Amino acid sequence: MSQLKYILDIEGTVCPISFVKETLFPFFLKHVDSVVNTEDPSLQALLKQFPVSQDPVSLKQHIESLVNNDIKDSVLKQLQGHIWEQGYKSGEIKSPIYPDAIEFIKKHESNVYIYSSGSVKAQVLLFQNVEGGIDLTKYIAGYFDINTSGKKTEAQSYANILKSIGVAPESASDVVFISDNHLELDAANQVGVKTLLAIRPGNNPVPDAEKYTSVTDFSSL
């Protein structure tokens, strides 16, 4: 059998789900004013993609609404990546990756991929700046987001990833996707990818959780 490849979700899987809502989102919201008043051409181009008036007040209200309702908007995710980069570089943000996930990623070097609704830019920053001064990016083979591959609850997204990592459809069972979201697991299952339900402290209850093979600690894999 071919060596297994692993696709990992981030929040609720390799780090606490609270990290996003209690650290990353508030940090971004604290800097929304600077975003909507930016003179950076690349950020201005992103803002123009929002379907609202381009005045700062309207943009701020739209952005805050997206964040507060946890809308997986691709433009928002790119803006967040820009702001979080500042936080990581200043040392204000450090990623609390679970120790067992750190060891798992190192152990399966070059066979681990990341798939998150957060932008690839934000994903790389997260794994570059782990608590304890750890940089995990050298162990990770690739990153996927909703811009590169599609929504995480759609089966086609996983087919797209299989193609990107060079796995034929008939070999999909050589790939394992780990997430805390049962809708994502169902979508991956549709294209033959094996799945594991991540059970971590603070995660939301999963309906019919007994239907899924679960993992509470990656050292057991």
Q: Which fold has domain 19-90?
A: 1.10.720
Q: Where in the chain is the domain with CATH 1.10.720.60?
A: 19-90
Q: What is the pLDDT of residues 47-78, one digit of tens each?
A: 999 999 999 999 999 999 999 998 989 899 99
Q: Where in the chain is the domain with CATH 3.40.50.1000?
A: 5-17+95-220
33 marked as binding residue: no
Question: What pLDDT sits at residue 85?
Answer: 94
17 C-beta neighbours (distance < 10 Å), count: 18
Element (H, E) at 187: helix 182-190
Is the overall model pTM greater than 0.95, yes or no?
A: no
9 marked as binding residue: yes
**pLDDT-derived band of residue 1, with 50, 70 and 90 as boundaries?**
very low
Report the mean per-residue pLDDT for the chain. Answer: 95
Would you say residue 27 has pLDDT above 50?
A: yes
214 marked as binding residue: no
DSSP 8-state symbol, 130: B
Question: What pLDDT sits at residue 2?
Answer: 61
- Helix (H/G/I), strand (E/B), else coil: 15: strand
Would you say residue 31 has pLDDT above 80?
A: yes
110 marked as binding residue: no
Do residues 46 and 75 touch, judged by C-beta distance below 8 A?
yes
Q: What is the pLDDT of residues 150-168, one digit of tens each?
A: 999 999 999 999 999 999 9
121-124 own/partner pairs: CB under 8 Å, 24+ apart: 121/78, 121/81, 121/82, 121/85, 122/77, 122/80, 122/81, 122/84, 123/10
- 117-126, 130-139, 191-200: least confidently modelled range: 117-126
Q: What is the pLDDT of residues 76-124, one digit of tens each?
A: 999 999 999 999 999 999 999 999 999 999 999 999 999 999 899 999 9
**pLDDT-derived band of residue 216, with 50, 70 and 90 as boundaries?**
very high
Domain 5-17+95-220 CATH superfamily: HAD superfamily/HAD-like (3.40.50.1000)
117 marked as binding residue: yes
Do residues 195 and 212 touch, judged by C-beta distance below 8 A?
yes
Do residues 137 and 130 touch, judged by C-beta distance below 8 A?
no
Q: Which two tokens stand for residue 128?
A: 């570059």
Give dist(CA 178, CA 10) in Å, integer.
9
Do residues 70 and 102 touch, judged by C-beta distance below 8 A?
no
109 marked as binding residue: no
